[in-house]
Structure formats: structure tokens, C-alpha cells
A and B are shown apart, each in its own frame.
Chain A
Amino acid sequence: MWKVIGGFVGGIVLTGVVGWLMMPSMMFTERESPFDMEETVARIQQNVQETGNGWELSGLRNPARAIQRDGGNVLPVMMVEACSTKYSKPILNDDSVRFLSILMPCKITVYKKNNGKVYIGTMNAGLMGKMFGPLVGEVMGEVAKDQVNFVKFDPSKPAPKMIEGVPGGDGKGGAAGGGRGC
């Protein structure tokens, strides 16, 4: 009997440990960008605008600037924020999942590492959505499909201008309200 219970508990612990270890790579993805910081951000912004489905840019945050204002340094990091009312509305209409507004707007982060290379970080919206029931799962599944397009680059296209006139795009580190999309 004790062996069974022990095995069961051990299995749960093992699952928990494995889940804990795998969680970051399942929930978030990181890929190297072939472009520099500004061009990566600009191309993502362009892709967001071209994806359709109501997607609009709602911000460009630069948390590194906030640290600079406090006298410190971190390598560049910029977060492109995008939102689509087509996807946000059903979630914001349902009291049981409204708390997921904390995940809005959709963010794609672009950052440089100490090896001098630029990386793109995204959230696995599809997997996350599945954890919150069929409505959110369906919506986030659609978001995930569009998200793939956000980071699909065509190097033959000329480098677009980085759009800084969106909240946070002034490089002041933070942005609130007034953003389009959501």
C-alpha cells in the first residue's frame, strides 16, 4: 500500500519538476533575429499592420530607458505591443476570464544579448489559451496563428521605419492608455 502511495506521490513530484523545468521553453519562445534592434522592431510593426484581423499597434515600450533614467545600464530591449479588438472583445465580454486582460495587449519583445546578437521573444498564446477553457482557447489559437506572421520576415523587402509615435514609442519607457487596437 505504502509503495503505491509513494509511487503516486513520487509521480506527482516528478511531473511537477519536469513541468517546472519545461515551462519556460513551452510558454515562451526565443529566436535570433537576422536584423539589428531597430529593424527587427520595425519589421515586426510592419507585419502587425499587414496581418489584418483588426491588429493594430498599441505601444512600443523601452524598459531600458527607464533604467537609464535611474542611472543604470541594460542592453537594449523593446517591446512591440499589438492588439486586435476582434480577439480582445470576446474575452473582455466574459466575466469569468476578464482577468486575462492582464495579458493584453499582445507583446513581442526584441532584445540584444551579451553576444551582440538580437533576439525575439514571444509568448505561446496557443498553449496558454488552452488552459482557460474553450472560449479563450479558441481566441488565443487564432492569436497564435497571427503571431507567427508577426515574426515572419522577408529580407528582400526594404527596411521599414520604426514607428515611434505610438504610446511608449517616445522611448520614455512606459505607456498607458490611448493606444489603438485595445
Chain B
Amino acid sequence: MLNCRTLSSLMLAFGATLAVTAAWATSPPASQAPAAKPAEEAKRSTSTADHSKFKELQRSFTSGPEVTRACLTCHTEAAKQVHRTKHWTWEFLNPESGQRLGKKNIINNFCTAIPSNYAFCTACHVGYGWKDQNFDFKSQANVDCLVCHDTTDKYRKLPGWAGHPPYRDTEFPPHSGKIVKAVDLKTIAQNVGKTSRETCGSCHFYGGGGDGVKHGDMDSSLANPGKYLDVHMSPETHNFTCGTCHVTSSHDVPGSRYTPTAVTRAVPMRGKESDANPATCEACHTDKPHSLKGAEVKEHAAKLDDHTVKLACQTCHIPQFARGHVPTKLLWDWSTAGKLDKDGKPFVVLGSNKRPLYDSKKGDARYDTHVIPEYIWFNGMVNYTLRGEKLDPDKVVKINSFEGSPTDGKSKIWPVKVFHGKQPYDKQSLSLLIPHTFGTDEYAFWKHFDWPKALEAGMKAVDENFSGEYGFVATEMTWPITHMVAPKDDALRCTQCHSKFGRLQAVQGIYMPGRDGNRVLSFLGGWAALLALIGVLVHGALRIWSNRKGG
């Protein structure tokens, strides 16, 4: 039974704690972070050119390609440079695996694939007019300069417009009653500048069909992040743009999810030709970052530095992703798509976090914020399950497999987002299928919700057969987590990994104090320590006794 007095004193302590908690919780709110972009920032531009003074830009434009032609009168080599990049080709040949990758070739478990859906997906292409397989990749005028160099934040490309912005006021989405204003090409062209978080984010924040859907560590909250969200990109701290790390030369942006840098072997040096990736933590912080500065206890810093051999910086310094209150998608189940309401219309069921739990067009979904990453060994090699590759429908198909092991000498433990899906496959050929989703034609799934027709059209677009028999197979896709770096005080604590049920619980092949142990060894060690203590005590006692006896 509890003693009443004890309870009373505990209650007082409890009350006091509550009071403190209440005081803390009601502390006057500071201004809502992040801070708005200062007006002077634009004035501080370091550009040596005022584009509004250029004769070529002092006219009206009726289309994007017209603007590009004007840009090319001065920037004569720009389009040719863009033509060589993945941003333009949407294609990448992995030199190590020999796999032909890129958006043009892979099937993912989000919207699946671009063939037959070009006009929708190419809203994020750095070009104009990619509406089918006949797109002219050699046309310089088709390069979209404005999508990356707009500084007005008013340039917008709409899904379904094959990479073009709206040239007239347009109801979008169709039948929604919402009007998207026509872009003012002249004003935008006269105000071009360096890329920014907003311009890169206009596509990369919205990958997979919505804000934060795909990556988890990139969403619209990074456009103007608070210090808590990204210690590098926040205007409150270093105000990095994407280009600060992804140092770009000749329009070729380094850093690729097809060949990520898992372990930094070399860092770029000014004045020296190098193909080293500048967008790694080590490129600035070195591989011994903790002892460089600010370490109060040298031994502790050295111990932390020891960890960099096996741990990616991101493992400790990005404790969760989707921390900016934009939910990221974690599940996409195409197998349930196509249900209609009693009037035969598609419908959406929103969850409490205002994201769809169900959408007739896309099926079941799950979203969350502040997601704890999964952790894997990763050596930078990624293998994709490509179109035509055989799959086992009874197993989870890995859209991409991250290679790595504790013993290959090339791997580190990385945080990743694992995205789960269910998507169509051909029951006869046992390979992934491409659905034709977008369009107003009779085959478009989002219009008619007819899987066989949509799959037939999708496969026809890549000149491949569809047997007519389809099912849905469980898939998963892995994404490395590397953005949303938290302030150093919020890095993982030792015990968050060095404990029985810690973050690295599932990571095999490494001995971790606090997590791993051998019962027999612990038993023997315990007894050895106890016996040693007894021995010391007995020895000491005998010394005292013999000393007294002798004296």
C-alpha cells in the first residue's frame, strides 16, 4: 500500500512539474519560422547582367521556345550543354551495371512509367513539347531555360501540357473551377537568374505526383526551411541553395540517385580537374569532421570520427525525414484503384493528415511525417528491375536493390526510405507492366478505369506485348536519405543505436556494444569480475590483518 504522505509530496512535485510544463507550453510564441525571404536579397544579386536591359528580351513572347531562342542569342552553347544532361535525356547508362536507366526507361512503384503518359510526366522535363516518342531531342529551342532560371516564382508548368506553361488563363485541374493565370513570359525572361531552392524544388519537391510524395527528404518545406529542418539550407543559418552543394558545371548537375556516392573516396579541389562528387558531406566536412572544431572532449570527438568509417554522416544527422510537416507517401497500392462511387464517379477519401487514404485513380495510400528511416549497408551500387525482367509474383519485387555488405570494404550504413507498393504485372510473361493512365482517350485509366485497356495501351507505347492476363505484385523501392540535415544537437545519441532495440537493430554484420552480446561470455565475464573483486577485498583484508598482527 502507498503511504499517503508520500503520495501527497509526490502530488506536490507533480503539480509543480505540471506548472512548469504549462509555463513552458504557453511561452510566448516567437515568429513562425522560417523567416520570410528578405526583400534586400534580390538587390544583393551578384549578377553582372540586368536581363531587363537586353534588347532581345524587351518584347512579348507567345511561347516558351520563343524565349529560349532569345536566350540562345547570347548563351550560344547553353542548349547544347543541356542536351548532354540527364535533366534533358531522362536517360542514364550505369557504367558499372550496364543497365540503361533514367526516367525514360525505368518502371517505379509510384506513377510507374512515362511511356504513353508523356504529356503528363514531362511537366517536369527541362524542355517543351515532349508529348510522345517523337519528341525532338536535338532541338535547341525545345530547351526550357525558365524552369531553372526563373526568379519571380511565377513560372509554372502544368501536368498534361507536355512541359509547356499555361500561355492563357486556364482552368486547372480541368472542371475544378480553379484558374491558373497565364505566365508572363516577358517579365520572367527579364528576371532570370541563378537556380534556387524554389526552381529545383518545383520538380524535385513534387516527384511521384505530389508534394513530398517520392523522396521523403525533399518537399516544399525546404523552399524556406527553418534551422530545425535543414541546418544548411535555412535562411536562419547558411541559406544554401541546392546548387551550393550540387556545384554545377556546363549545366551538368552532380549527384545522382542512379549512382549515389555511398563512400567518399575523393573530394574535389579548387583548380584541379576532378570527377569527384561535390555534393557529399565529406566534400566540405572531411572524413574526420568531429575533431575539426567545437569538440569539447577530444576523446569523444575522436570516437565519433571512428564511426565515420562505417556510418554515413546522414545516419546520425538526419534522425527522421519528412520533418517539415509535409507528409511523404509510404504506400501506393494500385490493386485497389478504379473503385467508383454510387454515381459511377471516381472519389477520394482523405485521411486526418489531409492526404488521400484512397483515390480511385491511384488506389490505397499511406502518408506520414517524421518518418524513422530504415538502415542498410550500401556501397553505391543500385540494380533496377527493368521492363521485361522476370519476377516472382510470390515475392516482393525490388524495383531497385541497394548493394552493400559489412565486409566489402566499400559500404557504409545508410538511412533510406523504403517505399512499398503493389503494381500490375503480366501473369504470363511475369514482368512489370506499364499502365496508360493519363489522357482523354478510351484507354486512359484515369478516365475509364479499365485496367486491361490501360495496360494494353501502356505496353503498346513501348512496342511490347501484353498477354491480357494481369495481376498485382508487391514491390518496394529504396531511396537514400540525404537532405533535411538537423542541427548537430539533434543528431542521434549513442544509446539510440547502442541499445537492444535501437535504430540499427536490423543491421547485421557488425558488433555493436549495447546491442550485441554473448550470454556465455557475459556470464563468464561477470563472474570473473566478481571473483577479481572478492580477491582484491580478501587480499586487502589479509594485508590489514597481517599488518595489525605484525604491529
Binding site for B on A (CB under 8 A): 12, 15-16, 18-20, 22-23, 27, 35-39, 41-43, 61, 63, 66-73, 75-76, 79, 99, 102-103, 112, 114-116, 128, 131, 158-162, 171-176
Contact = CB atoms under 8 A, between A and B. Distances in A.
Contact of B3 (A15, A27, A39): A15
Interface stretch (B164-172, B291-299, B365-373, B419-427): B365-373
Nearest to B227: A71
Contact of A159 (B4, B227, B229, B351): B351
Contact of A112 (B32, B357, B370): B370
Contacts of B501: 115
Interface in B38-78: none
B11 A174 contact: no
Shortest 4 CB-CB distances between A and B: which pairs?
Answer: A71-B227, A42-B352, A38-B352, A38-B353
Given A27-B14, A102-B15, A103-B15, 11 more contacts: A12-B3, A15-B3, A43-B352, A66-B25, A69-B32, A71-B226, A71-B227, A72-B487, A76-B369, A102-B22, A174-B27
A160 B3 contact: no
Chain B, interface size category, equals 35 or more
Interface in B475-524: 486-487, 489-490, 496, 501, 503
B26 A102 contact: no
B506 to A, nearest CB: 12
Interface of B: 1-4, 6-8, 10-11, 14-15, 18-19, 22, 24-33, 226-229, 236, 319-320, 323, 325, 349-354, 357, 368-372, 486-487, 489-490, 496, 501, 503
A123 B487 CA distance: 33
A66 B27 contact: yes
7 contacts: A19-B3, A19-B10, A61-B25, A63-B25, A66-B25, A76-B369, A114-B496
A143 to B, nearest CB: 16
Contacts of B2: 15, 18-19, 22
A72 B11 contact: no
A71 B236 contact: yes
Given A63-B24, A75-B370, A114 B503 contact: yes
Given A16-B6, A114-B496, A173-B25, A72 B352 contact: no
A72 B29 contact: no
A23 B9 CA distance: 12
B34 to A, nearest CB: 9
Nearest to A42: B352
A159 B352 contact: yes
Contacts of B236: 71
Given A42-B352, A69-B226, A159-B352, A114 B490 contact: no
A39 B351 contact: yes
Contacts of A112: 370
Contact of B26 (A69, A75, A176): A176
B32 A36 contact: no
A131 B29 contact: no
A17 B211 CA distance: 52
B168 to A, nearest CB: 36
- Most chain B CB neighbours (cut-off 10 Å) among A18, A73, A161, A172: A73
A112 to B, nearest CB: 6
A177 to B, nearest CB: 10
Given A15-B1, A69-B33, A73-B487, A36 B353 contact: yes
Nearest to A22: B2
A70 B34 CA distance: 10
Nearest to A115: B501
Contacts of B10: 19-20, 23
A175 B27 CA distance: 9
Nearest to A61: B25
A116 to B, nearest CB: 4
